Amino acid sequence: MSTARKKIDVLNMRVEPTQKQLLERAAEASGHQSVTAFVLEHALQAAHRELDEVRNYSLSLRDARAFLVALESPPKPNLALKSLFSNYDKKYSKAKR
């Protein structure tokens, strides 16, 4: 029989007293067993929403076409960009020698 224990990470945060009171009231009002359960559930929901927005960014048809046109026909490098690349090459080609 295995005696391995499930590891649980701890996440601590400091809050203002009024923030804590608000979280306690919301946890109680929503029927959560604890403030920790309330905060964890809502933090995880927010994390999933944030990651979904980053992963699933969608464009309108008009914007998608404009994006593809920009990818297929990028502007020619201007003087500032050429200078930037030149400085990069000078700096890093010496480092490789």
Q: What pLDDT is attached to residue 1? A: 52
List, run by run, the mean pLDDT of 10-residue segments along the chain (97 residues): 72 96 97 96 96 84 94 92 91 69
Cβ partners under 8 Å of residue 23, min gap 6:
15, 35, 38, 39
Q: What pLDDT is attached to residue 75? A: 87
Q: What pLDDT is attached to residue 6? A: 78
CA angle at residue 44 from 3 to 41, to 5 degrees?
80
Domain boundaries in the chain?
Answer: 17-96
Q: Compute the distance between CA of residue 92 and CA of residue 78 in angstroms, rounded to an integer.
A: 21
Q: What pLDDT is attached to residue 79? A: 95
